[in-house]
Amino acid sequence: MEQQPRLDLFPAGKLTLTLQRLCHELAENYGDFQDTVIIGAQPRGVFLARRIGLIIKEIVPTADLPLGELDVTFYRDDLRRHAAPLQPNQTRINFQIEDKRVILVDDVLYTGRSVRSALDAMLAFGRPRSVELLVLVDRRHKRELPIEPGYVGIAVDTIETQRVLVELKESGGNDEVFLIDRT
Amino acid sequence: MPLSTRHLLGIKHLRPEDLHLIFETADNFKDIINRPIKKVPSLRDVTIANLFFESSTRTRISFELAERRLSADVVNFAASGSSVSKGETLLDTVNNILAMKVDMVVMRHPLPGAPVFLSKHIRANIVNAGDGTHEHPTQALLDCFSLREKFGSLEGVKVAIVGDITHSRVALSNILALNMLGAKVRVCGPPTLIPRHIASLGAEVSFDLRETLEWCDAANMLRIQLERQDIKYFPSLREYTMRYGLDLPLLNSLDKKLVIMHPGPINRGVEITSEVADSEQSIILDQVENGVAVRMAVLYLLAGT
């Protein structure tokens, strides 16, 4: 197969720098992270949320930030529009989110539909005080719902035929994020 | 990977991969139905008709709960008090219901093969909730799911099915599913209630309850289906109970913790005594709980096809 043209969005270790920058932004807004929880959307949002939790621990050693894993499969609105049902992942939220400040983490924001599902899934566990969205990659100009991230690793302008491929170390990748042309 | 079929007509029509996919999906649903909010919006745009041409309590409620917890719209139909008693054919009844835009049909019918017949004539996804003495696939799936929960895997697990094998759709579906998952199956009961060629399905046969219980890891105790028995197959219920009923002294005389299952409804004092049904070794109520999760998985996976 011919190699597709791909653009590395985080070359040469920039991913770590970006995550550190995002964590500093969070620390600015959340102070000592009182009443704050971090929830990663399965699968890659969970990996990112874990890393963010560790970095925040370095910046604010007193921070006690419970980590949740959220699977949105059963909350999607496109079951009957897919060729095959998606394989669900586990949801693990072992704490109350009632009246908590939630930082929701996902890898790529595109149409906003996954985040809509995630909000729905999360509300089944209680009523958070606030929810903010953190994404590694924001693909602008293709939102189908009024959903905007509060914290963005990198914003890219993409066209529909392009795809963002996130390959983190946790899933056997090399901490690379590519923009790929599907032609 | 999706299911290999659009309908759940019987275990016979499934592949081992399908069973594993259903179990893995059911794991997630079991998690969900133990949350404070037990409902997910997956089937919000799906309408399901429950057509019960034969009476049922557990299965009907279990299916309906599964459907509602997936946020599907549900219509219920029971044969008594319907146009069936006015002479309408099955196909006409179902086509009339489908004309009202129903996406899936869950059907129980007294005639073996009714769901297969229907699947050849209509577009909706069909789930067999029991067809006569033929198959009861969701019961077998929840039985195997419960055993998997207990033993981790069914590979090599020895399962006995005791009682009225001839008239039991639960037995047939269970034998097929257990074999597919690598379990060892033995049926046990009076010779008149064991079909002659059952061994060709991969089940051993025994007429001795004690010997069978000493052999197995789990025993599925079936009910005597008096309503399907046209002639007398044994002299009296009392004699049946004496030879094939499981009571506490018999259970305690085994030198192991046997797992006791029952698909319900129980005839207490006939196939098992109350003490056995309510004992610690019984997973009868786990089976019922798992039934909802397994049916949610089946409906979810079929709706996506």
Structural domain includes residue A176: no
Torsion of CA A121, A127, A131, A137, to 10 degrees: 0
Strand order in the sheet with B104-109: B73-78, B47-52, B104-109, B125-131
Q: What would the 3-class secondary structure string for B25-49 be?
A: HHHHHHHHCCCCCCCCCCCCCCEEE
Instruction: Name which of B1, B42, B305 is nearest A74 (Cβ-Cβ).
Output: B42
> Comparing B154 with B91, which gets the higher pLDDT?
B154
Nearest CA in chain B to A82: B304
For residue B2, the distance in angstroms to the closest alpha carbon of chain A comes to 5
User: Are the C-beta atoms of B48 and B72 separated by less than 8 Å?
Assistant: yes
A85/B2 CB distance under 8 A = yes
Inter-chain contact B39–A75, Cβ cutoff 8 Å? no
Q: Please count the CA atoms within 13 angstroms of the CA of A166 that sit on its side-chain side.
A: 20
CATH class of B11-135+288-303: alpha beta
Instruction: State the virtual CA torsion across B241, B244, B247, B253 in degrees, nearest 10.
Output: 140
The ipTM estimated for the assembled molecules is 0.70
Task: Assess B45–A contact: CB distance below 8 Å, yes or no.
Answer: yes
Domain range summary for chain B, segments of one domain joined by +: 11-135+288-303, 137-285
Is residue B192 predicted with pLDDT exceeding 70?
Answer: yes
CATH number at residue A22: 3.40.50.2020
Q: How confident is the prediction for chain B on average, in pLDDT?
A: 93
The answer to whether residue A6 sits within a structural domain is no
Q: Once rounded to an integer, what is the mean pLDDT over residues B65-83? A: 87
Q: What percent of chain B has pLDDT over 90?
A: 78
Q: Supply the pLDDT for residue B294.
A: 98
Mean pLDDT of all residues in B95-122: 92
What is the Rg, in whole angstroms, of the alpha carbon atoms belonging to chain B? 19
Question: Does the beta-carbon distance from B304 to A85 stay under 8 Å?
Answer: yes
Q: What are phi and psi of A134, to 5 degrees?
A: -120, 125
- Burial track A114-125 (b if 16+ CB lie within 10 A, e otherwise): bbbbbbbbbebb
Q: What's the average model confidence in pLDDT over B75-99?
A: 81
What tens digit of pLDDT does each residue of B245-283 get? 999 999 999 999 999 999 989 999 999 999 999 999 999
* Per-residue pLDDT at A1 exceeds 50: no
Q: Residues with Cβ < 8 Å from B196, sequence gap 6 or more?
A: none
Please indicate, yes or no, if residue A72 is contained in any of the structural domains.
yes
Please indicate whether, in this complex, the C-beta atoms of A84 and B39 are within 8 angstroms of each other: no
Runs of H (alpha helix) within chain A? 14-30, 44-59, 113-123
Of B159, B183, B161, nearest in space to B172 by CA: B161
Distance between B125 CA and the closest CA of chain A, angstroms = 12
pLDDT in tens, A11-25: 878 999 999 999 999
Q: Is B201 on the interface with A (CB under 8 A)?
A: no
- Which band of pLDDT confidence, cut at 50, 70 and 90, is reported for residue B82? low
Q: Which CATH superfamily is domain B137-285 in?
A: Aspartate/ornithine carbamoyltransferase (3.40.50.1370)
Q: What is the 8-class DSSP label of residue B276?
A: H
Percentage of residues of chain A with pLDDT beyond 90: 57
Running DSSP on this structure, what letter comes out for residue B224?
A: P
What is the reported pLDDT for B165? 95
DSSP bridge partners of B282: B260
Confidence band for A4, pLDDT divided at 50, 70 and 90: low
The pLDDT of residue B90: 86
Element of type H or E holding B66: helix B58-69
pLDDT band at A152 (very low <50, low <70, confident <90, very high): very high
Q: Which domain covers residue A31, as residue numbers? A: 13-76+89-158
Residues 25-84 (A) with a CB less than 8 A from some CB of B: 71, 73-77, 79-80, 82-84
Mean pLDDT score, A41-54: 93
Task: Provide the pLDDT for residue A6.
Answer: 81
The residue length of chain B stands at 305
Segment B51-67 shows an average pLDDT of 93
Taking alpha carbons only, the member of B219, B226, B213 closest to residue B253 is B213
Q: In this complex, which of B35, B36, B301 lies closest to A85 when CB atoms are compared?
A: B301
In a domain, A167, yes or no: no
Report chain A residues whose CB lies below 8 A from the CB of B41: 74-75, 77, 120
Q: Minimal Cα distance from B22: which residue of A?
A: A87
Domain count, chain A: 1
Closest-CA distance, A122 to chain B, in angstroms, reads: 11
Residues of B in contact with A80 (CB under 8 A): 45-46, 303-304
CB B184 within 8 A of CB B157: yes
Q: Per the CB < 8 Å rule, is A76 touching B45?
A: no
Residue B81: pLDDT band by 50, 70, 90 thresholds? low
Residue A9 has pLDDT above 80, yes or no: yes
Does the residue A4 lie in any domain? no
Residue B161 has pLDDT above 70, yes or no: yes
